[in-house]
Structure 1
Amino acid sequence: MKKIIRVWDLPIRLFHWLLVLCIIGSFISVNIGGNAIQWHAYFGYSVLTLLIFRIIWGFVGSTHARFTSFFPNQEAILNYLRGKSPRVLGHNPLGALSVFALLFALCVQVTTGLFVDDEIAFQGPLAKYVSGTVVSFLSEMHEGNQVVIYVLIAIHIGAIWYYKKFKGENLIKPMISGDKEIASSEEAQYLPTDLSRDSKDGVLQRSFALLLLSVIAVTVGYFSSK
């Protein structure tokens, strides 16, 4: 008999898949160029909205969404690499390191994007407030940081494939359903306290997340249109 535990709440799952769609849309639109660059900007503003939401949700969200539940440290990473750490419901130490790295790279990307000015089809809403030298520097950083993001995404996808192929663990399914299934024979591999920490995912939790996301979206939309 399997133990079913709610790990990822609906707000986190929606954040994850909306972020995937926005990154794909951003990649396609920037490579099409021309008038599509405006769509690239829209996708960028959407990513900015989602990132602000995720950062706030990392402090006020459900158990496994909070940064304190999976913040990596040297000891945890070394123990994991040595195979001495218990299994976890959420992100393992290496996975957590990857998550923080990707969130940081995306934050750099959307922040620099606000200052980009290609002098043809697009000018970021903050470009007019800084010098041409700063705009040029941040524009180059925005372009170069794409490579970092693509590498981190490739690592992320590779890790998913590795866990499915060699460890028999499907990391995508819980990010769709929200639940993780733990077989009775696997329970001893987890800390007892971890197995009792279901994430809250009720109506109040979801309503608060929707309100928070709406406020952030309106705020980002207002400042990006000025």
Structure 2
Amino acid sequence: MRKILVWDLPTRLFHWLLVICIGGSWISAEFNAFDWHLRFGYATLGLVLFRILWGLVGSETARFTSFVRGPKAIWHHIAELRQPGRLSPHVGHNALGALAVLGLLSVVGVQAVSGLFTSDGILTDGPLVDRVSGATASLMRTIHMNNFDILLALAGLHIAAILAYALFKRLDLVRPMVTGRAPLPGNIPAPRIVSLVRALLVTALSGAAIWALVSYG
């Protein structure tokens, strides 16, 4: 066994920044700090866009083609979970982890996009609320409010799964997402990690797209 770099820095930063933005969005809404709520929302949308692009051109373990699998792989992993003892070594997301990534990205994306068209009818409007009818804005507000409950449920399930892997399979999923490194057998090759320059370009593209959407949408 040796520790190898499994998660690149951009993927790890995305993960923890998304946690901060979701938490910040929640807290700012609870305290009616809607200027900050909008800022956290824009940042969240930018992070989602970055992750989608990074899933296409990023490092090997970040790419969707490396971890999104069909039902057969999912059932195989579930069967493996039912067996006693440790799991076999795996580089990157397992089949259930892939579902978590896709599910959370989808729900967070819906939350951020619906917020662009949402108005509280008093003080705060989303930047694109004037582009849609009142009925559409009302629908978007309903989606924005109800979808957050789904997001909280998925986040809770995600945390519960991490705890279950640690308790029952002695697999630490948190430390590798902090350090980037995980212990793997010597016969498993290290995944390909791309240059940080590519991550900076994707970050700039994502930021510019969100800025243009908010400013000129």
TM-score (norm. length: structure 2)? 0.92
What amino acid maps onto 1:5 in structure 2?
I
Q: In the alignment, is the contact (CA less than 8 A) between 1:113 and 1:139 conserved in 2? A: yes
1:172 is aligned to 174
1:91: Cα distance to partner?
1.0
1:47 is aligned to 44
| Matched ranges for 1:1-226 at <5 A | 2-33=1-32, 36-83=33-80, 87-182=89-184, 195-201=188-194, 205-226=195-216
Q: In the alignment, is the contact (CA less than 8 A) between 2:54 and 2:202 conserved in 1? A: no
Q: In the alignment, is the contact (CA less than 8 A) between 2:166 and 2:173 conserved in 1? A: yes
Greater shift in the superposed pair: 84-93 or 43-52: 84-93
Alpha-carbon distance between aligned partners in 2 of 1:18 and 1:98, rounded to the nearest angstrom:
17
SS in 1 for 2:158: helix
Alpha-carbon distance between aligned partners in 1 of 2:48 and 2:190, rounded to the nearest angstrom:
25
State the identity %. 41
Alpha-carbon distance between aligned partners in 1 of 2:72 and 2:10, rounded to the nearest angstrom:
30
What amino acid maps onto 1:18 in structure 2?
L
1:219: Cα distance to partner?
2.9
SS in 2 for 1:225: helix
1:86: Cα distance to partner?
5.0
Greater shift in the superposed pair: 114-123 or 133-142: 114-123
What amino acid maps onto 1:14 in structure 2?
L
What amino acid maps onto 1:90 in structure 2?
G
1:199: Cα distance to partner?
3.2
Closer, same or farther in 2 for the Cα pair 1:167/1:86, shift >3 Å? closer
Q: In the alignment, is the contact (CA less than 8 A) between 1:63 and 1:197 conserved in 2? A: no
Greater shift in the superposed pair: 151-160 or 208-217: 208-217
SS in 1 for 2:172: coil
SS in 2 for 1:52: helix
SS in 1 for 2:12: helix
SS in 1 for 2:40: helix
SS in 2 for 1:4: strand
CA deviation string 1:21-80 (max 9, x = no partner) = 1111011001111xx111011000000001100000001001000001110311111111
What amino acid maps onto 1:69 in structure 2?
S
Give 5+ residue unaligned stretches, structure 1: none
Q: In the alignment, is the contact (CA less than 8 A) between 2:118 and 2:138 conserved in 1? A: yes
Q: Which segments of structure 1 move beyond 3 Å, counting only runs of 4 or more?
A: 84-87
1:87: Cα distance to partner?
3.9
1:215: Cα distance to partner?
2.9
Alpha-carbon distance between aligned partners in 2 of 1:109 and 1:118, rounded to the nearest angstrom:
15
Alpha-carbon distance between aligned partners in 1 of 2:137 and 2:106, rounded to the nearest angstrom:
20
Q: In the alignment, is the contact (CA less than 8 A) between 1:8 and 1:199 conserved in 2? A: no
